[in-house]
Amino acid sequence: MMLSSTAVVFALAGAFATLPAALGLVAQKRAAAFFDPTAGGGSMLIDAGNGLGEPLNVIISGLSSPQVLNEDGLINYARAIGFSTECFGIHLGNPFSANLGDGHGPVNQTTELRQDFGNADLGTCLESLVGGNHFRVYFQNGPSADSGAAFLAVSREEPASDNHDIVPDGYDIGRDQLVAGAVGITSFDGVTYSTTAQNVTGLLPVGSAGVNHGTSTGLRLAPTFPSTAVDDRCVPTSGIAIDGIVTVLTVTIQ
């Protein structure tokens, strides 16, 4: 389903307006799915520190169960959908900041999670070595746009040896893989989640302008991989464009 961003904020807010009382979550449940960061001077592109940005291409709606919309809750949810915290706490990249237009200005990511390849403890080490899906998390919880939503910058990376470059179409692919693993019923550590997805256009631009790795400076695995010579493993990518779609997930704890 495709909706404009404004429609989602209001349509979802309306559709779920009666739910909090029914679920007994009146005190915590937020009133909006999310607010468009650009309306508050922010951006849907996070700051990669080089003048370019990476897209916030998944939003976990503020209308999700409140227990999901904090760092610990989100980490547990991420584990349910195939991600884990970074390999033994070793952080391989710099923090990137985002301005969600909520009055907090630019803030660094709350956490960064990586695909765990089926093992929540060791799998992220594998991701760091062989590449895989990962995302950075930002909460929209400032005073002027307090939706509580979690904004995720999702991308599929090349291995650590390639300096964490993004695979061709790695933003769109990363988003679609995360969503595919999230939709439906998932569980981790005794918590069961029901997740629905909705695509939104009009928040992100389409194309590669301003997008990190959007120019042809990246590397990708050569078709001949694996190879013994490092120089043979990588070939330059053409620019990585984005399709402009943001997928909004609504996560309800069962």
Ligand X SMILES: *[C@@H]1O[C@H](CO)[C@@H](O)[C@H](O)[C@H]1NC(C)=O
Which residues are near ligand X by CB under 6 A? Answer: 1, 95, 97, 106-108, 176, 197-199, 245, 247
Question: Would you say 31 or 197 has its CB closer to ligand X?
Answer: 197
- CB of 74 vs ligand X, minimal distance in Å: 19
Question: Would you say 9 or 219 has its CB closer to ligand X?
Answer: 9
Question: Taking a C-beta distance cutoff of 8 angstroms, is the pair 110, 97 a contact?
Answer: no
- DSSP strand pairing (111-115 vs 132-139): antiparallel
Question: Would you say 105 or 210 has its CB closer to ligand X?
Answer: 105
Question: Taking a C-beta distance cutoff of 8 angstroms, is the pair 166, 216 a contact?
Answer: no
Question: Would you say 1 or 229 has its CB closer to ligand X?
Answer: 1
- CB of 158 vs ligand X, minimal distance in Å: 22
- CB of 109 vs ligand X, minimal distance in Å: 9
Alpha-carbon distances, residue 147 vs 5, 61, 70 (angstroms): 14, 8, 12
- CB of 121 vs ligand X, minimal distance in Å: 26
Question: Would you say 126 or 137 has its CB closer to ligand X?
Answer: 137
- CB of 227 vs ligand X, minimal distance in Å: 32
- CB of 126 vs ligand X, minimal distance in Å: 26
Residues in the chain: 254
Question: Could you tell me which residues are beta bridge partners of residue 247?
Answer: 58, 199
Question: Could you tell me which residues are beta bridge partners of residue 166?
Answer: 157
Paired tokens of 131? 């590449």
Question: Would you say 108 or 187 has its CB closer to ligand X?
Answer: 108
